[in-house]
Amino acid sequence: SDQRPLLDAEPSPLPFEPARAALVIIDMQRDFLEPGGFGESLGNDVSLLAAAVPPARSLLAAARAAGLFIVHTREGHAPDLSDAPPAKLERGAPRARIGEPGPMGRILIRGEPGHDIVTELAPLDGEPVIDKPGKGAFYATGLAALLEARGIETLIVCGVTTEVCVHTTVREANDRGYRCVVVADACGSYIPAFHEAGLAMIKAQGGIFGWVSHSGAVLAALG
Ligand code: C5J
């Protein structure tokens, strides 16, 4: 019989093997999350994203204790913008464009203070940090090779924003054959209706491209 622990999730519980699971924390960067950052300067209520930090922190602690493979991602670009397509650069109000000066340094540029992961979720030495130029964590990164090298089959995904970088990453991962479990309370969006719809889309139609769970359930399954 199947001895793997069951993770409580929707639309169905999911057997999972911690040795073949990874925690993927998407883009928990200061510019998106912190008061005084770029996200807030655009008029967003950053408390909607900050609410995801404590659950993500408890997932991170449990994953570390259980010896899970842990991957952090950051969205951003090289200072010379050579990895930013014109179609991405030309969007947004001129003062809100990638590479322009923001309250925490140049917007979405690697090495700037706003690009850093928030202190509460700071990666430990040895935990890979994937710098990605796109919304999805697989596009133009080494993530697939990292996961393959470890025989990872299941991704426990959290971070921001639910409907953009979390969704894109989960869609990419699903097509690559990974089981993806999105941890609802450890994700967030500036637009609550999009957060809810984003989660609903994943688990609809029998789990059309993944599962949705809760940090408490993941902690219970990690024991
Ligand atoms: C992320 C964004 N990380 N919403 N970026 O979701 O632009």
Residue 158 bears catalytic tag: no
Whole-number Cα distances in Å, 112 to 37, 74, 106, 134: 12, 12, 6, 18
Q: Can you give the pLDDT at residue 93? A: 87
- CA angle 154/190/74 to nearest 5° reads 50
Give the percent of the chain with pLDDT over 90.
92
Q: Can you give the pLDDT at residue 149? A: 98
d(C-alpha 11, C-alpha 202), whole Å: 9
Q: Which of 98, 121, 130, 165 has most ligand 1 atoms within 8 Å of CB, for mutation? A: 165
Amino acid at 62: A
Q: Whose CA is nearest to atom 1 of ligand 1?
A: 165
**Are 70 and 146 contacting, i.e. CB atoms less than 8 angstroms apart?**
no
Residue 163 CA: nearest ligand 1 atom is 6
Q: Is the CB of 161 under 6 A from ligand 1?
A: yes
User: Which three-class secondary structure state does DSSP give residue 210?
Assistant: coil
Which string of DSSP letters, residue by residue, matches 89-136? HT-S-GGGSTTSEEBTEETTBTTSGGGSBPGGGPPPTTS-EEEESSSS
Q: Across all residues in the chain, what is the average pLDDT?
A: 96
What is the Cα gyration radius of the chain? 17
Residue 27 bears catalytic tag: yes
**pLDDT tens across 102-149, in order?**
999 999 999 999 999 999 999 999 999 999 999 999 999 999 999 999
**pLDDT tens across 80-109, in order?**
999 999 999 998 888 889 999 999 999 999
Q: Can you give the pLDDT at residue 1? A: 59
**Residue 53's Cα: distance from chain center in Å?**
12
Ligand 1 center from residue 54 Cα (angstroms): 19
Residue 168 CA: nearest ligand 1 atom is 6
Whether pLDDT at 196 is above 90: yes
| Neighbouring C-beta atoms of residue 43, cutoff 10 Å | 7
**pLDDT tens across 40-77, in order?**
988 999 999 999 999 999 999 999 999 999 999 999 99
Whether pLDDT at 3 is above 80: no
Q: Which residues of 171-194 are buried (b: 16+ CB within 10 A; e: fewer)?
A: bbbbeeebbbbbbbbbbbbbbeee
ipTM value, please give it.
0.93
